[in-house]
Amino acid sequence: MDKGTILVIEDEPNIADLVDLYLSRDGYRVVKQATGEGGLAAVRDQRPRLVVLDVGLPDIDGLEVCRRIRATSSLPVIFLTARAEEIDRVLGLELGADDYLTKPFAPAELVARVKAVLRRTDGAPVAEMVPAGRAVVDVGRREVRVDDQPVDFTTKEFELLRFLATRRGLAMSRQQILDHVWGHDWYGDERTVDVHIAQVRKKLGDACVITTVRGVGYRLESSTP
Ligand code: CA
C-alpha cells in the first residue's frame, strides 16, 4: 500500500525514526533528511506529497526551508516546533504552513494531522510556480510576481513567459513559441512574438533576462541578473 512519499526534515534521529515508524506503518513512503539543504534537495528529487519540517535545523532553519519551498510550490508543510517562540515565528511569518505540532507530540497525532492536511489539499494539485529570474510564474493563480508583487500580464503574455520559463536556458524559435502559445491553427506573423516579448520585457524590467537569439528566437536566462 503506497500512499505517496512524506519527507521528514528533522535532525533529531529519535524523533525522525519515530515519525518514520508511524507514517510507514500507515502506508506512506518516508524519506528522512537531517539538514535543511538535504531536505530541499529531497523536495526536488523525491517529489513528496507533504513535508514534516523541524524548525530548529543545524544548517538553514526550518522557516527558511519553508520559504524556499514556497518560492516554487504549494507543497503542504507541517512544522515541528520545540518552543513557544518558534510557534510565534511560524505563525507570524505567514509562510503558508499547513499545520504545526509542538514537541513533544504523540506520533499518532502527527499521523492524524498528516492525513487531515492531505485530505484538505488533495485534488488540489501542488501548484506549479516557475521561477523566471526574480519573477515567479504562479500557474495556479495565473499570476506573475516580481519580488512578491503581482504584475499585470495579459493571457498571451502570461503563456509566453510561462512557456519560456519552463524551458529556461534553452533557445526557442518563434515558430515553437507560436505553436505553443498561440496554437497550431493560428495564422499570424512571427512578429507577433516579437511584439509580445517586448511587452513582457518591459513589464519585468531587470527582474528577468530574455535574450534574443539571432536567427532563432528567444531564450529566458536561467541566472538572475
Ligand atoms: Ca531540531
* pLDDT given for residue 83 in this prediction: 79
Q: How far is the CA of 128 from the centre of ligand 1 (A)?
A: 29
125 has pLDDT over 60:
no
Q: How far is the CA of 11 from the centre of ligand 1 (A)?
A: 5
pLDDT band at 8 (very low <50, low <70, confident <90, very high): very high
- Averaged pLDDT for residues 95-112: 87
Say what the pTM is: 0.60
191 has pLDDT over 60:
yes
- Pairwise CA distance, residues 33 & 9, whole Å: 5
28 has pLDDT over 80:
yes
Q: Which fold has domain 5-121?
A: Rossmann fold (3.40.50)
Q: How far is the CA of 32 from the centre of ligand 1 (A)?
A: 13
Q: How far is the CA of 102 from the centre of ligand 1 (A)?
A: 12
Distances in Å between the Cα of 148 and the Cα atoms of 139, 145, 218 are 15, 5, 25
Q: Is 176 exposed, middle or buried (0-12, 13-18, 19+ CB in 10 A)?
A: middle
Neighbouring-strand partners of residue 19: none
- Averaged pLDDT for residues 43-56: 92
Q: How far is the CA of 200 from the centre of ligand 1 (A)?
A: 44
- Tell me which CATH code domain 129-220 carries: 1.10.10.10
H-assigned helices in 99-219 = 107-121, 155-165, 174-177, 191-204
pLDDT digits (tens, 9 = 90+) for 128-163: 788 899 999 988 788 999 988 999 999 899 999 999
Q: How far is the CA of 56 from the centre of ligand 1 (A)?
A: 4
* pLDDT given for residue 95 in this prediction: 72
Q: How far is the CA of 108 from the centre of ligand 1 (A)?
A: 20
pLDDT band at 224 (very low <50, low <70, confident <90, very high): low
| Ranges of CATH 3.40.50.2300 domains, the chain | 5-121
* pLDDT given for residue 33 in this prediction: 98
Average pLDDT, the chain: 88
pLDDT digits (tens, 9 = 90+) for 75-98: 899 999 987 777 777 776 667 778
Q: How far is the CA of 179 from the centre of ligand 1 (A)?
A: 50
187 has pLDDT over 80:
no
Q: How far is the CA of 61 from the centre of ligand 1 (A)?
A: 9
| Ranges of CATH 1.10.10.10 domains, the chain | 129-220
